[in-house]
Amino acid sequence: MKKIVSLFLIILFIISCDNTTVKKETIKRKPNSFAIVIHGGAGGIKREYFTKEQQEAYTQKLHEALDAGYKVLENGGISLNAVEAAINVMENSPLFNAGKGAVYNSEGNQEMDAAIMDGKTLNAGAVAGVNHIKNPILAARIVMDSSKHVLLSGKGAEIMAKKYGIEMVDSSYFFTQKRLNQLRKIQGKEKTQLDHTAFLIKNELIDDHKFGTVGAVAIDKNGNIAAGTSTGGMTNKKFGRIGDVPLIGAGTYANNLTCGISATGTGEYFIRTVASHDVSSLIQYKNLSPKEALHTVLFKKIGELGGEGGMILIDKNGDVYWDFNSTGMFRGYKKSTGESKVAMFEQTN
């Protein structure tokens, strides 16, 4: 009888502990709290590569993007709209490799990709290989909201965007002398290099100093997470090349059960490791912390394959994380608690 009583007490204790754990977890995110985190690319971003004026320009633009997304959340808007607002700011700036600042492919044209995902419904939309859509992230949202598809490419994506009133521009809108100079420099040196592929990879890091893909992740007052990413890809990429950004689970992913993620870097490696979804899965099924999951994927998977880049993350509790295996990443966050930060270079947390 004593053994039965003891066993019963042990079972009650275990159940009590389990209930306590659940309660702690469900109340961790304060009601009506919200947050947004952004990135503007990762890579060989070192202090010596930037003048004081350039650092100030990037810092100002990152703050502007954060404020645009934060304002949506503060006014009760949904996380999807906040992500769009933040990314729009960076797409409209020549500082980043997205929209206005998109790099040139090997044919001397821009081919842009973008994706957005809703963590509540797991609905997602993406466009790839577009070159007349001013803000590709808006077109990705149209694909998500107004079609039964997830990914549209090229002419089909542009026809749909135009149908729904997304602003279209002539390809000359995307011209920047800096990006053209980068293409010419790489192509000029390629001609004298025996191993073209190895040289291109090396030169992409040296000449461009960064991967300027932009992204944002937000959690709104209702606790819903959204993630979005936009990019011009790699300088001198082959015509028709598509990277990780529009491939859901590779460069972009959101799930209210775990987190939202946006990635930047050498896209082929993020595709091969299904990087963003892998981070989410490590949190959900292996009970890793977001910090541990990011580090595992970036350093032990992507890094060991030879890939480079970074990722930003907001978890279901509204906590912000980022990590990168490169020398720097343009990044920042802003929370309803009043806490905010913008950084460019080496890891600071």
> Is residue 191 pLDDT above 60, yes or no?
no
Query: Does 20 carry a binding-site annotation?
Result: no
Better-scored residue on pLDDT, 338 or 202 = 338
Residues 114-139, mean pLDDT to the nearest whole number:
97
> Is residue 291 pLDDT above 60, yes or no?
yes
- Residues annotated as catalytic (active site), given as ranges: 213
> Is residue 130 pLDDT above 70, yes or no?
yes
Residues 289-307, mean pLDDT to the nearest whole number:
97
Q: Residue 109's pLDDT is what? A: 74
Query: Does 26 carry a binding-site annotation?
Result: no
pLDDT band for position 238 (cuts 50, 70, 90): confident
Better-scored residue on pLDDT, 233 or 33 = 33
> Is residue 17 pLDDT above 70, yes or no?
no
Query: Does 244 carry a binding-site annotation?
Result: yes
Question: Where exactly are the structural domains of the chain?
Answer: 1-30, 33-343
Query: Does 267 carry a binding-site annotation?
Result: yes
SS (H, E, C) the chain: CHHHHHHHHHHHHHHHHHHHHHHHHHCCCCCCCCEEEEEEEEECCCHHHCCHHHHHHHHHHHHHHHHHHHHHHHCCCCHHHHHHHHHHHHHCCCCCCCHHHCCCCCCCCCCEEEEEEECCCCCEEEEEEECCECCHHHHHHHHHHHCCCCEEEHHHHHHHHHHCCCCECCHHHHCCHHHHHHHHHHHHHHCCCCCHHHHHHHHHHHHHCCECCEEEEEECCCCCEEEEEEECCCCCCCCCCCCCCCCECCCEEEECCCEEEEEEECHHHHHHCCHHHHHHHHHHHCCCCHHHHHHHHHHHHHHHHCCCEEEEEEECCCCEEEEECCCEEEEEEEECCCCEEEECCCCCC
pLDDT band for position 307 (cuts 50, 70, 90): very high
> Is residue 12 pLDDT above 80, yes or no?
no
Q: Residue 104's pLDDT is what? A: 78
Q: Residue 137's pLDDT is what? A: 98
> Is residue 11 pLDDT above 80, yes or no?
no
Better-scored residue on pLDDT, 21 or 182 = 182
Q: Residue 197's pLDDT is what? A: 40
Better-scored residue on pLDDT, 210 or 175 = 175
Mean pLDDT of the chain: 86
Q: Residue 313's pLDDT is what? A: 98
Q: Residue 232's pLDDT is what? A: 87
Query: Does 242 carry a binding-site annotation?
Result: yes
pLDDT band for position 252 (cuts 50, 70, 90): very high
Cβ atoms within 10 Å, residue 270: 29
- The region of weakest confidence among 201-205, 239-243, 327-331 is 201-205
CATH 3.40.50.20 fits 33-343, yes or no: no
Residues 179-203, mean pLDDT to the nearest whole number:
53
**What is the percentage of the chain residues whose pLDDT exceeds 90?**
71
Q: Residue 212's pLDDT is what? A: 81
Residues 201-210, mean pLDDT to the nearest whole number:
41
Q: Residue 346's pLDDT is what? A: 78
Query: Does 108 carry a binding-site annotation?
Result: no
Q: Residue 176's pLDDT is what? A: 76
Residues 60-70, mean pLDDT to the nearest whole number:
98
